[in-house]
Amino acid sequence: MKDLAIGIDVGGTKALAVLVTPEGDILDELRSSTPQDTTGGAGVATARVLADQVATLCARHGLDPVDLPIGIGMPGLVRRDGRLAEAANLVGAAGASFPELLAESLGATHVYMENDGNCAALGEHAWGAARGIDDFVMVTLGTGIGGGIVTNGVLMRGQNGFGGEIGHMVVQARGAICGCGGFGCWERYASGGGLARLTFEWANEGRLPVLAERCGGAQNVRGEDVTRAAGEGLDEALTLVDDVAWWLARGLANLVAILDAGHFVVGGGLSVAADLLLPRARVYLEELTFGYDKREAILLTPSGLTVHAGALGAARVAFDRLS
């Protein structure tokens, strides 16, 4: 195994790259915006950002990207061969093989790609809240909802490698339209993007009057305004966060019914509000889960790696596949 690896967590709005030791220690990190760009071919604009991140981290530490293990966690349907089949929240990237694109731009020979939710699960299993736990579901609340399902210590990938796409489980028949083209997907209600959508609707329906006044109009209220105000105890913001917690629990209850899941680790950008969301979600999970009182305790815990889970997991993928 190499002494260092780079892991990159690619999301709908940002990419986080970390330089990591085999013990999971982060030596350096770099954040960049991800482009929503269809020019230049599938994934080319995104690959350019990732290549710049790798080159910058290598230059800072005197490393050669040619031999360095590099892992990429990508949102969407990642085939077993590392090609991105579809990505609802990353315009212009579908069909790309990022390992090939980084090999072309950097000469890198050890680049591996996995779904971002799967990466987060692997990161938490190796170094975070799921360390020593061989059966759990990772739930990442970002622009959408990603997931990774670990059973008997092994990541469930499914027939095509697409396993764990829990954000596109339908929780509301004929509900809000999703970037995947469907309606009523879980991520439209319980992700950071879902919070933004609900905030827009509530503000324009006059249900957030104090925040609208604070922000200079309903059109200016953002999801982060809601979570900040909820942390301050503002009733209207707490009510909206409570609604998101109900939707979070609705999806978790579905997963319990399907998988008999007993442990959820919740991460992603929206998990910064975990102290607001998770207590209420636990209450609703008990109400919504079939046979809750007949099951062993269902644990719902925040990520141990917080915003670094996906990037650390991507580095874990690179270490594991190179060894």
- Residue 284 included in any domain: yes
**Domain with 282 in it:** 132-303
CA distance 194 to 182: 14
Q: At CB < 8 A and 24+ separation, what contacts does 222-228 make?
A: 222/196, 223/192, 223/195, 223/196, 223/199, 225/199, 226/195, 226/199, 227/195, 227/272, 227/273, 227/276
The whole-number average pLDDT for the span 86-98 is 87
Q: What is the pairing mode between strands 84-86 and 77-78?
A: antiparallel
pLDDT tens column, 234-291? 999 999 999 999 999 999 999 999 999 999 999 988 888 889 999 999 999 999 999 9
Q: What is the pairing mode between strands 26-33 and 14-20?
A: antiparallel
- Residue 266 included in any domain: yes
Q: Both 78 and 47 in a single domain?
A: yes
* CA distances to 18, 93, 121, 148, 264 from 8, in Å: 6, 15, 14, 17, 23
The whole-number average pLDDT for the span 202-228 is 97
Q: Both 109 and 158 in a single domain?
A: no
112: pLDDT strictly greater than 60: yes
- Residue 126 included in any domain: no
Q: Both 293 and 313 in a single domain?
A: no
The whole-number average pLDDT for the span 218-236 is 97
pLDDT of 2:
79
Q: Both 60 and 152 in a single domain?
A: no
Q: Both 259 and 318 in a single domain?
A: no
CATH classification at residue 218: 3.30.420.40
Q: Both 145 and 112 in a single domain?
A: no
57: pLDDT strictly greater than 80: yes
Higher pLDDT, 221 or 179: 221
The whole-number average pLDDT for the span 69-95 is 90
CA distance 27 to 277: 31
pLDDT of 91:
78
Q: Both 15 and 106 in a single domain?
A: yes
In this structure, of 82-96, 216-230, 234-248, the range with the lowest mean pLDDT score is 82-96
**Which residue type does 73 have?**
G
CA distance 200 to 163: 31
Q: Find the distance separating the first CA and the last CA of the chain, reported in whole Å.
A: 5
1: pLDDT strictly greater than 60: no
Q: Both 106 and 255 in a single domain?
A: no
Q: Both 265 and 312 in a single domain?
A: no
User: Residue 319's pLDDT band (boundaries 50, 70, 90)?
Assistant: very high
- Residue 88 included in any domain: yes
- Residue 127 included in any domain: no
The structure tokens listed for 18 are 């970390």
User: Residue 186's pLDDT band (boundaries 50, 70, 90)?
Assistant: very high
Q: Both 92 and 146 in a single domain?
A: no
Domain count along the chain: 2
- Residue 194 included in any domain: yes
Cα–Cα nearest to 82, from 164, 161, 182: 161
Q: Both 214 and 191 in a single domain?
A: yes
pLDDT of 110:
96
Tell me what the pLDDT averaged over the chain comes to.
95
Q: Both 177 and 33 in a single domain?
A: no
